[in-house]
Amino acid sequence: MNMPELVRILIPTAIAFIIGMAITPILTHYLYKYKAWKKKAGKQTLDGETAHEFNRLHTESEMRAPRMGGIVVWGSVLLTILGIAAAAKLLDTPALEDLNFLSRSQTWLPFATLLVGALVGLVDDLMIVRPSGEGLRLRFRLFFVVLLSGAIGWWFWDKLDVTAVNIPFMAPLEIGWLIIPLFVIVSLALYASGVIDGIDGLSGGVFASIFASYTIIAFSHGQVDLAAFTACVVGGLLAFLWFNIPPARFYMSDTGTMGLTLAIGTVAFMTDNLGGGIGIAVLPVIGALLIITVFSDIAQVIWKKLFGIKLLRIAPLHHHFEAVGWPGHKVVMRYWVLSIMFAFAGVILALSALPIQ
C-alpha cells in the first residue's frame, strides 16, 4: 500500500526541522569562532546617504551576532532531500521510495534555484564579514538574478511549454515568450524584498508563511513532490526561527534571503499554468509583506527626491515602526500575524477562484 500523500509531506518537514536543530550548534560554533559578523557597523540609504536613524537603532546589534544563519535553512533542506533520495536508492524499500520527492518534473528546478541563489548569497556574506566589510556589488547581484531568472524563464517557455498565466475566474492569459521577462521581473522584485531580514525573527516567520501557503496550493493540485519540497523548506525555516527569536543567535543574511526569494518565484510559476492552479496572481497577496517592504523603500526615495523630506523615519517600513518607538519584538509578532492572515487569504483565493478552462 502506498504511503498517504499527506504523510509524504509531513515526514520531510519533520526531518528538515530535526536536521536544522542538529546542525545549528555546529554552525554557530564556527560562526562565533571565526567572528562571522560585520566588522564595520553602519548602513547607507538607497540614495547613498548615511542611514543615521537606522545606525542609531542597530549599530550594536549588527556586530552582536554572526551572519550566514540561512545555511540552517538550505542546509537542512539539502541534507533532507539528498538523504531521503540516497536512502531510497541504497535500501530499495517501497516506503522510502514513496518518501523520495526529488523528481525532475517538480523539484529539481526550485531546489536548484534555492541552492544556486544561496551559494551566491554565501559568497556575498563571506565578503561582508572581512575587515573591509564590502560584499558583492549590487550590480553584480542584480546581474546574477537577471541571468538566473532569465534562464529559468526560458526553461519554462521552451522546455515546459508554459506560455500563459492563470487569472482568477477568467481564462488563462496567453503571453507566449513574454513569460521570460515576467519571470525576471518577479524574481527581481522578490530579491529586493530580501531586506525584510532586518529584525530578529522577522524574515523567518514571513518566509515560513509563504512557503506553507504554496505547500497547500501545490498539494491541492496533485503536485505532491513540489508540496513536499516547500514543506521541507518550512521545516528548515522553523529550525532557523527557533534560534533567531530575539535575541537572535545569528542572522539569515544573503545566503538565506537570496535563495529563498528566488525559490518563491520558481514555486509560484510551477503552481500556476504548469500545475493547473493559480500561483502567480496570488503571489502579491501571499507575499504582501514582501511587496510592502519593497514599495516602502521605493516610496522613501521618490518622496525625498520630490519634496526634500523623508516619508518614513527609516525605510523599509518595519524599521520605521522601530524608529517611532515600537519594540522590535512587537513589530515581529505583528508581522507574523499579518503574514499568516495574508497567507490564508492567498490560499483561499487560489483554491476558490480557479481559472476558466
20: nearest Cα among 240, 243, 259? 240
pLDDT for residue 281: 95
pLDDT for residue 1: 44
pLDDT for residue 61: 62
In the chain, domain spans: 5-37+46-352
Q: What is the mean pLDDT of each run of 10 residues along the chain (357 residues)?
A: 82 97 96 86 58 60 81 98 94 88 94 97 93 88 96 96 92 95 97 91 96 96 96 98 90 95 97 93 96 93 89 89 90 96 96 77
164: nearest Cα among 316, 249, 246, 273? 273
pLDDT for residue 20: 97
pLDDT for residue 294: 94
Q: Which residues pair with 173 in a beta bridge?
A: 165
The residue type at 305: K
Cell numbers that stand for 357 in this block: 478552462
pLDDT for residue 101: 93
Cα separation, 77 vs 75, whole angstroms: 5
pLDDT for residue 268: 97
Q: Which residues pair with 174 in a beta bridge?
A: 164
